[in-house]
């Protein structure tokens, strides 16, 4: 007898749903039975993601929202609950990488923007969605952190600080929400490619003109790969399985951890 898909009858809210990682995880959760609520600031990216999900036979709806606005988050979550009835799963994934430069040259406005999106925005979503989950006595949450929040990366003061904060927020939320039957974990991808984010990081590290990387993007790419024990970057498709595990009852006694998806970087 075939068992029901792991997420049958559950709704997954995915912030940053217009991006590559958000979409890849949405496809995986949908393939295991979840209905998908995609949330992003960019309506065009959202619609492209939703179209791919619908084409694959998923149930999916879009919600345009600026996660740095708590009122907007509350309105969006209310709309999602009205649409789907409940939210059982959350991938708290919206993020912004920001500028690359040594800390004494790092633009203050850019630092503020990264922190607003990656930390304040993540807190807003976590606060509002977890309040809904507490009322129901059930919830599974994964926050997207980064290996930049495990080892402080050169030339990335804002992004590194923001992802360290996400790891800390995960550990605190796991303790606060455990009595309510809600698990909270994080994932920390390292170098993921190919694509826009990989190319951008390589280019901007080259332009930062630091002792840590060459000024030649091709050499920077080699230096990054050489720092990975598995000697390659990870593919976007190598992230969703870990998230699906953490959101599923297969991880029923797992909370408060940060899983490195890093090819061996620790």
- Residues taking part in catalysis: 159
- CA distances to 37, 173, 209 from 49, in Å: 11, 29, 36
Alpha carbons 136 and 182: distance in angstroms, whole number: 10
Q: What is the DSSP string of 138-183?
A: -EEEEEE--GGGTSPPTTBHHHHHHHHHHHHHHHHHHHHHGGGTEE
- CA distances to 72, 182, 261 from 144, in Å: 21, 17, 11
Can you give the C-alpha Rg of the chain in angstroms? 18
According to DSSP, the residues that pair with 64 across neighbouring strands are 40
CA proximity to 27, closest of 64, 60, 65: 60
Q: How far apart are the first and last CA of the chain?
A: 41
Q: Do 185 and 255 form a contact (C-beta atoms < 8 A)?
A: yes
- CA distances to 51, 88, 100, 187, 251 from 155, in Å: 37, 37, 5, 22, 36
Q: Tally Cβ neighbours within 10 Å of residue 144.
A: 25
Chain position carrying tokens 């977890």: 130
- CA distances to 66, 68, 124, 141, 190 from 183, in Å: 25, 24, 17, 6, 23
């Amino acid at each position: 007898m075939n068992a029901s898909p792991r997420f049958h009858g559950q709704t997954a809210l995915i912030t940053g749903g217009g991006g590559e990682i958000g979409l890849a995880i949405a496809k995986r959760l949908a393939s295991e039975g979840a209905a998908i609520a995609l949330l992003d600031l960019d309506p065009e990216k959202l619609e492209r993601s939703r179209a791919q999900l619908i084409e694959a036979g998923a149930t999916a709806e879009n919600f345009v929202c600026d996660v740095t606005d708590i009122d907007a988050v509350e309105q969006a979550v209310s709309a999602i609950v009205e649409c789907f009835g409940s939210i059982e799963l959350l991938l708290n994934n919206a993020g912004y990488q920001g500028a690359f430069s040594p800390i004494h040259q790092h633009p203050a406005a850019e630092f503020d923007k990264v922190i607003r999106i990656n930390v304040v925005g993540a807190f807003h979503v976590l606060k509002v969605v977890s309040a809904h989950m507490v009322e129901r006595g059930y919830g599974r949450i994964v926050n997207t952190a980064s290996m930049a929040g495990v080892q402080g990366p050169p030339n990335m003061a804002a992004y590194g600080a923001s992802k360290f904060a996400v790891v800390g927020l995960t550990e605190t939320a796991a303790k606060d929400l455990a009595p309510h039957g809600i698990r909270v974990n994080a994932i920390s991808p390292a170098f993921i490619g190919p694509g826009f984010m990989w190319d951008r990081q390589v280019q901007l590290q080259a332009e930062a003109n630091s002792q840590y990387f060459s000024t030649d993007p091709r050499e920077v790419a080699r230096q990054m790969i050489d720092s990975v024990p598995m000697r390659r970057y990870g593919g976007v498709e190598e992230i969703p399985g870990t998230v699906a595990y953490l959101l599923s009852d297969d991880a029923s006694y797992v909370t408060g951890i940060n899983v490195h998806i890093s090819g061996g970087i620790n």
